[in-house]
Amino acid sequence: MHTARRSIQCFVGILLLSAGFSSIGAAQIGAVNPQGLNQIPANFPNNRPLSSSLGGARSNELTVVPPDFAELKLAPGFLLSLNVLDDPDFDGEFRIDQQGDLALPVIGILHVGGETASEARTQIRQTLLKDEILIDPQVNLTVVEYTAPEVTILGEVNVPGRYPLLGPRSLTDVLGLAGGLTVAAGNEIQISHADKTEKTDQIHFSRATNAKSVEDTIVHPGDTIQVKRAGIVYVLGAVNKPGGYVMEEDGTLTVLQAVSLANGTTLSASVGTIDLLRRDADGTSVRIELPLGKMQRGKAADIQLHATDIVYVPNSKFKSTLTSTQGILAAATSASIYAVAVY
């Protein structure tokens, strides 16, 4: 009896001891306060966790440096920490003013706005050498606080909005921040630059031929990206897969291609004459009759479609409720949109 009671007491003690260690571990984990990327050494290697180099309470933080941090441009409001080896007269934290200048002891005013931390460090060292203040200065400059610049991504992307962009990145990477392109994205991307030139670039690409143009295009912090919507052609009526089809590849699509994308006509389709609805410049709809049967047999030229065109294939008995222009337009409004190719 005493042995059993002693075993139970030991077991309970082990449980209590384990619970105590668990609570201590939970308290320690909860005390860790990752603060994003607002305190990072300028010369820190990419994609490595911060360590005790930050000093003090920051030594237990785990923060990953983004791959473009080395390209971060200094701007007004940044707080920098300067340290010159064996000369504490220069040590301290200094904030960049609205003109992009840094006021440093002994050295004076230096313009560092638009430079990287590495370039600013080099400028400080060269100034110390040129003015014969120090013979061989060992300068360390650290970004303590910063406001991340942003890029704006609009149009046919999955998650449009503003995203932090520390340095230049390829257009492919930047579009990935917004979740990539939607199925309705076209082959034209407009980039408006934030510099004084207010230059706008038009990027034309085709996923089949020159998608590399997107990879080679560089986006800078402050830029605005607008992904244009692709043209959409609607194929309705007696087809196997009615709906809207994106004119992806170079924005071209013919009548026969559109009917083929809709998985062809049904057995009850009347292919002798089909209808093409097209909007004029004033917005009015024009109804054009096309000889689909002759096109399929090569006896009539295939017709190039325009964006928002509607191709309607009637049933052989011609008793469909969509024989009127209004009925066809109403069906196009509710039609599902399909991509021509898989992304």
Lookup: tokens for 62: 């785990």
Count CA atoms within 13 Å of residue 277 on its CB side. Answer: 24
Looking at residue 63, its pLDDT comes to 53
Convert 175-192 to b/e letters by CB count within 10 Å (16 or more is b): bebbeebbbbbbbbbebe
The predicted model gives 74-90 an average pLDDT of: 88
Alpha carbon 60 to chain centroid, angstroms: 31
Looking at residue 95, its pLDDT comes to 92
pTM: 0.54
- Mean pLDDT lowest among 76-80, 170-174, 188-192, 207-211: 207-211
Looking at residue 282, its pLDDT comes to 79
Amino acid symbol at 88: P
Domain boundaries, the chain: 41-145, 150-229, 232-338
Looking at residue 142, its pLDDT comes to 87
- State how far the Cα of 325 lies from the Cα of 80, in Å rounded to an integer: 67
Looking at residue 132, its pLDDT comes to 87
**pLDDT bucket at 125, cuts 50 / 70 / 90:** very high
Lookup: tokens for 336: 């599902």
Looking at residue 216, its pLDDT comes to 80
**pLDDT bucket at 283, cuts 50 / 70 / 90:** confident
Asked if residue 30 has pLDDT above 60, the reply is no
What is the per-residue pLDDT across 295-318, written as a single tens digit (0 to 9) for each?
999 999 999 998 889 999 988 765
Asked if residue 64 has pLDDT above 60, the reply is no
Asked if residue 145 has pLDDT above 60, the reply is yes
**pLDDT bucket at 181, cuts 50 / 70 / 90:** confident
Asked if residue 110 has pLDDT above 50, the reply is yes
- State how far the Cα of 302 lies from the Cα of 90, in Å rounded to an integer: 77
> Which architecture does CATH list for 150-229?
Roll (3.10)
Looking at residue 325, its pLDDT comes to 63
Average model confidence (pLDDT) across the chain: 75
Domain 150-229 matches domain 232-338 at the CATH topology level = yes
41-145, CATH topology level: wza like fold (3.30.1950)
**pLDDT bucket at 41, cuts 50 / 70 / 90:** very low
Closest CA to 79 of 93, 65, 100, 58: 93
Looking at residue 232, its pLDDT comes to 86
Q: Give the position of tokens 């001891």.
A: 17
The predicted model gives 208-233 an average pLDDT of: 80
232-338, CATH topology level: Outer membrane lipoprotein wza fold like (3.10.560)
Largest CA distance in the chain: 105
% of the chain beyond a pLDDT of 90: 27
Instruction: Identify which has the larger pLDDT, 46 or 163.
Output: 163
